Structure 1
Amino acid sequence: MDGNVVVYILSDSIGETGEQVAKAAVSQFNTEKYEVRRFPYVTEEEQIIEILEEAKEERSIIVFTIVIERLKKFIVEKSKEYNIPAVDLMSPILDAIETVVGFEPKRESGLIRKLDEQYFKKVEAVEFAVKYDDGKDTRGIKKADIVLVGVSRTSKTPLSMYLAHKNFKVANVPLVPEVPAPAELFEKDTKRVFGLIANSQKLNEIRQERLKALGLSNNANYASISRIEEELEYSKKIMEKLQCKVIDVSNKAVEETAGIILEIMKHNFGDDYGK
């Protein structure tokens, strides 16, 4: 390839995909004389004309990842007029997927960015759940979207993680008679606090299994019915004081409990769940 070539990347989003593909393609040629110019958020025909006016003065190629049909057609037509090669990166794969799935694409710009934002939100929520698990740091109560309280083995941690995957920042706080409930709990919006209880027999079974897994005697006070009932009674008093929603998780899967919480959040805060 003799002389410089300028690759113009046009996108109705940020244009990263087009740039990476263009660079990968150019790397197959024995040249370092190339330039990639990226034009993100192209949404008007006037922008396209301005870019083509610039491109016609150079040895150039247009590469575009625009999914809005009107703009895509405009680029194809105008590039022909300006005698500039234009490559549509998205249409071939969109057409192939449409053939397989049997319905048309959304043709909505910026969807991959939205997906990325959702992904990072989820990662942040999971990290939050880990950091503020089991009352490790009560400062998390103030920052949390949802706060779970309950005695040991009422599914607080798995429920926190499940809700984190729904992009909610969750702090969970164990309630133990010998340890005063953190003051931050009583300062939290009660609509964001959920108390978890279970019947004593069910907790007894779960705690015995837990002790067995740890190689400890299942006769420990932790798993005794009397101790469990004492803890439950204490936790119910705290929940009553908090005036929070109480959910009995005895015979509920984590997904079912999460579903109840999400419904209540939606009822309390609307479709954005207060986030």
Structure 2
Amino acid sequence: MLEQQIVYVVSDSIGETAEFVVRAAASQFDSGHYEIRRVSYVDDEDSIKEVVLAAKEVGGFIAFTLILPSLRNAMMDYAAAAGVHVVDIMGPMIDAFRTVYKQEPKLRPGLVHQLDEDYFRRVEAVEFAVKYDDGRDSRGLLRADVVLIGVSRTSKTPLSMYLAHRRIKVANVPLVPESSPPDELFQLPVKHIIGLTINPDELNLIRQERLKSLGLTPQASYAKYERILFELEFADKIMKRLGCPVINVSNKAVEETASIILDLMKRGGHTI
């Protein structure tokens, strides 16, 4: 027996249904040997082909919930050609409803979660905010509803999470003089970017408290007043270059700043 067997769960929606079924089945075996890899929101044949090849490479199989017949057929065809075992979880049940009750399916992915659409959009937005927090992956900037920029400790991360719970996909980028902003930032429409600034005295206090909480000396360069002025000047130049709106977060609660951001987004034509 292999040390670990891998099951790929493929869906054109979140993939919860398929994963639940797979886990229920795996519980009847030595579940410690099984790894479930979920591949969500599959909507093209190339993605299907990639998963099939991955499953073949590890000697695993695929369980899938694909609603569109074209994608279901593509999965069956690619898997057969590669010799990969697949389990169509949703297809036979849809066919049964069609056959017995003489009705045609809507063929719209994700309807099982329609009542909880807001919840799942919120989950997706939170996952997005975590993935693209603090400039981790600049590719996410082009997919974000809004991008927050500013120096360290201007509430970029708390605001990203707050807005994510409003189902808004937020990425944020720290502006640091020693590092040029990512090229993707300058490819965005101005309405997708919001700058955050802060009073230097307040930022100085915030950074000193941050250093104390980390057990570091407040005299570190991070909290020095000259350094803070240097960073704020650098950020101001970038924001002026971009031409984006700028919010001064000094003495503002996250909720208050978020309300201003939402208003700016509405005025910019975003659907919120």
TM-score interval for Structure 1 and Structure 2 normalised by the shorter chain: 0.5 to 0.7
CA distance in 1, matches of 2:262, 2:152: 22
Tell me whether 1:231 sits opposite 2:231 in the alignment: yes
Counterpart AA for 2:246: V
1:213-264: per-residue Cα shift (whole Å, max 9, x none)? 0000000010011100000000000000011010000111111111011111
Tell me whether 1:134 sits opposite 2:134 in the alignment: yes
CA distance in 2, matches of 1:153, 1:141: 20
TM-score, normalised with respect to structure 1: 0.58
Matches within 5 A, 1:69-84: none
Aligned to 2:205, what secondary structure does the other structure show?
A: helix
Partner in structure 2 of residue 248 of structure 1: 248
Partner in structure 2 of residue 172 of structure 1: 172
Partner in structure 2 of residue 266 of structure 1: 266
Counterpart AA for 2:175: L
Shift of residue 182, structure 1, vs aligned partner: 0.7
Shift of residue 113, structure 1, vs aligned partner: 4.7
- Percent identity over paired residues: 61
Counterpart AA for 2:234: Y
CA distance in 1, matches of 2:126, 2:115: 17
CA distance in 1, matches of 2:156, 2:265: 17
CA distance in 1, matches of 2:113, 2:218: 51
CA distance in 2, matches of 1:266, 1:151: 25
Aligned to 2:237, what secondary structure does the other structure show?
A: helix
CA distance in 2, matches of 1:184, 1:113: 33
Partner in structure 2 of residue 24 of structure 1: none
Counterpart AA for 1:182: P
Tell me whether 1:160 sits opposite 2:160 in the alignment: yes
Partner in structure 2 of residue 221 of structure 1: 221
Counterpart AA for 1:225: Y
Structure 1 residues 120, 216: closer, same or farther in 2, change over 3 A?
Answer: same
Shift of residue 114, structure 1, vs aligned partner: 3.9
Shift of residue 115, structure 1, vs aligned partner: 3.7
Counterpart AA for 1:141: L
Partner in structure 1 of residue 124 of structure 2: 124
1:155-201: per-residue Cα shift (whole Å, max 9, x none)? 00000000000001100000000100111000011101000000100
Shift of residue 112, structure 1, vs aligned partner: 9.3
CA distance in 1, matches of 2:115, 2:205: 42
Largest Rg, 1 or 2: 1
CA distance in 2, matches of 1:250, 1:114: 40
Partner in structure 2 of residue 257 of structure 1: 257
User: What's the C-alpha RMSD, in Å, of the aligned pairs?
Assistant: 2.7
Unaligned runs of 5+ in 2: 1-95, 104-110
Shift of residue 268, structure 1, vs aligned partner: 1.3
CA distance in 1, matches of 2:207, 2:131: 24
Matches within 5 A, 1:79-118: 113-118=113-118
Counterpart AA for 2:173: V
CA distance in 2, matches of 1:265, 1:112: 30
Shift of residue 267, structure 1, vs aligned partner: 1.3
Report how many aligned residue pairs link the two structures.
174
CA distance in 1, matches of 2:129, 2:262: 16
Unaligned runs of 5+ in 1: 1-38, 41-47, 52-110
TM-score, normalised with respect to structure 2: 0.59
Aligned to 1:269, what secondary structure does the other structure show?
A: coil
CA distance in 2, matches of 1:213, 1:115: 43
